Amino acid sequence: MNKKIVPFTEKQIRNIIAEYPTPFHIYDEMAIIDNVRKLISAFAWAPGFKEYFAVKATPNPYIMKLLKAEGVGADCSSMAELALCEKVGIQGHDIVFSSNDTPYEEYKKAMELGALINLDDISMIEYLEKFGPLPDWICVRYNPGPLMKEGNDIIGKPEEAKYGMTRDQIFEAFRILRDKGVKHFGLHTMVVSNELDPNGLINTAKMMFELAVDVQKNVGINIEFLDFGGGIGLPYKPEQSFVDYNFLSNGIRNYYEEIMEPAGLGNIRMSFECGRAITGPYGYLVTTAIHHKHIWKEYIGVDACMANLMRPGMYGAYHHITVMGKENVPKDHLYDVAGSLCENCDKFAIDRPLPEINDGDVIVIHDAGAHGHSMGFNYNGKLRSAELLLHEDGSVTRIRRAETLDDLFATLDFSNL
């Protein structure tokens, strides 16, 4: 169970809307900080434990900066994400570059920033060497394929996933890297996504510990860095519960003591690259009901659309909805809450029991703090919305303005028509 509450009153949010019209995303600064502190302190036992925030989840420099102040690094996989790190002053091994299908210029940028390079494929060794020297530190990404039994809804079966290397390739890659003089080695995987069962995450860690020991046996090198990827899930539905960080940490610790310490690998640095779990629950898409329509079903039209939050339309994902000021009104209406795209999947909710909604009601869509604004797009010429940061004292900083038509048309040349 988790309470789907919002960090503002109706009066407060209407005051904010008076200054920043809907739709917008608003992030609860203190809740993000508290949450990441909890995660980091749960792993206080682990030497050099680091959370690398998956920048793609919420690529906003203000969010990255407040996380940086908590000792959080950045997980990047594109030029833009690296450039954001540079702007925020995140560098060196505070960046892990976990990319795939990567052009050299992105590796080059990552190496200039001193990032930990995580190779998605064995062929990347030769590819990197074509253009320049290998860095001293290299991490390689593992795909267990059918060796791992359970799959996961978003990533699917590992053998169907495009990421990482097979077990044999991992050993081969480390041999090649060692022979080429690379000094320090890391191992990465990400086989679950939006996982609410901590045992799924604990088993990933166990698999990685065993692999690190096998690498030691087969290749004769000691891995110094282990990265379990992202994947800590969110209780999008009220009846689901948050992953217990202490339970997760204890489960990992047990395997660490059982597998790593006897192998002399008790000093390995562990990390996660969570995005969703860090900011997801603490971001809200705020929109206004602007139309209602009764045909074969009952529709509420809002001023946000799938371009602001894609997950419901793309994955059929559930996002909880609060109608401001009607929190305690009986949910005796069944609505489809829709946006304005010319796509029928542009719905935030289908057949959702909600209180009666009137035009002008403020509708809050929960758990939009990660993979929300960042997955936005401009289909139908929809403009990307603003992002606001809500401070503990109730004040607000606009951390991204809404796009204008000029932004949208900036790449068009109307002068020679």
Ligand X SMILES: *Cc1c(COP(=O)(O)O)cnc(C)c1O
Which residues are known to be catalytic? 342
Alpha helices in 79-197 (DSSP H): 79-88, 104-112, 123-131, 167-179
Q: Does 275 bind ligand X (CB under 6 A)?
A: yes
Cross-strand partners of 396: 390
Name the minimum Å distance from CB 152 to ligand X.
Answer: 10
Half-sphere exposure of 221 toward its Cβ, with a 13 Å CA cutoff? 25
Q: Does 283 bind ligand X (CB under 6 A)?
A: no
| 145, amino acid identity | G
Identity of the residue, 186 or 230, whose beta carbon is nearer to ligand X in the bound complex: 230
Name the minimum Å distance from CB 249 to ligand X.
Answer: 16
List of residues 6+ apart from 33 with CB closer than 8 A: 66, 70
Are the CB atoms for 338 and 348 separated by under 8 Å? Answer: yes
Query: Which tokens go with 359?
Result: 């035009």
Name the minimum Å distance from CB 100 to ligand X.
Answer: 8
- Of 70, 82, 72, 71, nearest to 118 by C-alpha is 82
Identity of the residue, 190 or 362, whose beta carbon is nearer to ligand X in the bound complex: 190
Cross-strand partners of 217: none
Name the minimum Å distance from CB 111 to ligand X.
Answer: 18
Site for ligand X in 255-274 (CB under 6 A): 273-274
Q: Does 73 bind ligand X (CB under 6 A)?
A: no
Site for ligand X in 202-261 (CB under 6 A): 229-232
- Which of 25, 50, 276, 319 contacts ligand X by CB under 6 A? 276
- How many angstroms separate the CA atoms of 268 and 260, rounded? 8
Cross-strand partners of 363: 287, 323
Cβ burial of 416 (10 Å; 0-12, 13-18, 19+) is: exposed
Nearest residue to ligand X by CB is 230
Name the minimum Å distance from CB 52 to ligand X.
Answer: 8
Q: Does 78 bind ligand X (CB under 6 A)?
A: no
- Which of 28, 29, 51, 75 contacts ligand X by CB under 6 A? 75
- Give the binding site for ligand X (CB under 6 A): 54, 56-57, 75, 98, 190, 193-194, 229-232, 273-277, 370
